[in-house]
Amino acid sequence: MIYFDNAATSFPKPKRVYEEMLWCMEKYCANPGRGGHKMSLESGRAVLKVREIISDFFNIKNPMQVVFTKNATEAINIAIKGVLKEGDHVITTCMEHNSVIRPLKALEKENIIELTIVPGDEFGEVDAEDIRRAIKGNTRLIVSTLSSNVNGIIMPVKDIGSIAKEKGVLFLVDAAQGAGSIKIDVEELNIDMLAFPGHKGLLGPQGTGGLYVREGIKINPLILGGTGSNSESFMQPETFPDIFESGTINTPGIVGLGYGIEYINRMGLDNINILKHKLVKTIYEGLSELRNVKIYSRPEISKNSGIIAFNFDDVESNEVSYVLDKVYNVATRSGLHCSPLAHTKLKTIKTGAVRISVGCFNTLEEVKIVLKFLKEISDNTI
């Protein structure tokens, strides 16, 4: 199968990810932070090493501020529910995933927060100045996706971060799309909280993700329980990362994530970005030559994290993905991609769109094959 559904989860992972997860599980996987014996300590060291790898990768000063979660959605929920209080105003963008919109809309519905959704241009890119204009006296938080999971559009997070810093507003970035090919420096971008999945661009396994919280931010935990620390107390410890890591964490998954990021480091983040752009640009140009096609993504490297969303005028998006799968053995995704907001912006809320999302293991050869198939589908609809 040719796999072009990397925005959902990357496939495959680097071989070493599998090998090291297996090694961990077979050889030393005890409970990290829950005992003083060799295996527990080795598990603890392995987890700490990945905290450090992640910190280096995002230029986070203190690895203890990196919290492991089960996925990016948990991380986003911790951040949103952990910092917002009654009366707070939140600003977000028109391209957010349901992982951002659903918790925000629920708080709005309960009259806890006010919510402003900033509109973008035709591709959904917001103007940072629109965010500045939306800031009010009670604005507590700005939430922006790094890049849309529907069409790959990249948000001006650096400009938004500067504004947030200037205005003293917290800035949460959802890096579900883009982490692993777009450089993210939390200091340079003035990111206060960064939510990331482990199993997409970072090439780790499912069941992993994380949240970075800048030191000094007061934030409440979502899940309370045993942390292996302050065991004598009925109260959740306030120290990082324990405050957010109740219960046993996913040691082999985290180990795999570490090796995913090390693979990216070895390959070079920029090289991955350039490769993905080359693939995206080729798809864009090939698709553009087909009749009756409408493309919702931009081809420029600075505007696209690796996704081409499109529709044929005459064909249901689901039908295109279905034929690509059944007839041609190509994995893509169609429909709404858990992002009704983005589809409203792109005027595809009724039709959905076909999404081709590339990963660092895709090749130009695969792209050419898919373009040939798409031409056949397009021709057959005449």
**How much is the CA Rg of the chain, to the nearest whole Å?**
21
Query: Per-residue x/- mask for its own copies, residues 291 to 320, rule CB under 8 A?
Result: ---------------------------x--
Position among 51, 132, 140, 199 found at the interface with its own copies (CB under 8 A): 199
**Judged by CB under 8 A, does residue 144 bind its own copies?**
no
Query: Among candidates 268, 253, 279, 271, which has minimal Cα distance to 363?
Result: 279
99 vs 111: CA distance, rounded Å: 19
274 in contact with its own copies (CB under 8 A): no
Q: CA-CA distance, 74 to 86, in Å (whole number)?
A: 21
Smallest distance, Å, CB 124 to its own copies?
17
Part of the chain binding its own copies (CB under 8 A), chosen from 58-66, 87-95, 163-171, 240-248: 240-248
Segment 102 to 141, residues that bind its own copies, using CB under 8 A: 102-103, 105-106
Question: In this complex, which beta carbon is closest to its own copies, that of residue 156 or of residue 237?
Answer: 237
CA separation for the pair 355, 311 (Å, rounded): 9
Tell which residue, 3, 4, 1, has the closest CA to residue 310. 4
Distance CA 274, CA 307 (A): 14
> Least CB distance from residue 357 to its own copies, whole Å?
11
How are the residues of the chain apportioned to helix, strand and coil, as percentages rounded to the nearest 5? Answer: 40, 15, 45
Cβ at position 101, least distance to its own copies in Å: 5
Pattern 332-361, its own copies, x by CB under 8 A: xxxxxxxxxx-------x------------
Residue 225 touches its own copies, criterion: CB under 8 A: yes
Taking the complex as a whole, the smallest distance from the CB of residue 226 to its own copies amounts, in Å, to 3
User: What three-state secondary structure class fits 112?
Assistant: coil
Considering beta carbons, is residue 327 or 364 the nearer one to its own copies? 327
The interface region with its own copies, picked from 55-63, 91-99, 210-218, 289-297 by CB under 8 A, is: 91-99
Task: Could you list the beta-strand ranges (E) of the chain.
Answer: 2-3, 66-69, 88-93, 113-118, 139-145, 170-174, 193-197, 209-213, 293-295, 307-312, 330-331, 354-357
From the list 98-106, 178-186, 287-295, 302-310, the region that binds its own copies by CB under 8 A is 98-106
CA–CA distances in Å: residue 220 to residues 18, 67, 92, 136, 363: 35, 13, 21, 24, 44
- Taking CB under 8 A as the criterion, the residue among 98, 116, 162, 381 binding its own copies is 98
Given candidates 246, 294, 361, 381, which one binds its own copies under the rule CB under 8 A?
A: 246
Q: Which of 180, 253, 306, 359 binds its own copies (CB under 8 A)?
A: 253
What distance in Å separates the CA atoms of residue 379 and residue 373, rounded to the nearest whole number? 10
Of the listed pieces 180-188, 266-274, 291-299, 324-332, which binds its own copies according to CB under 8 A? Answer: 324-332
Please state the φ and ψ torsions of residue 6, each to the nearest 5 degrees.
-70, -20
Determine which residue in the list 25, 274, 327, 364 makes contact with its own copies, applying CB under 8 A. 25
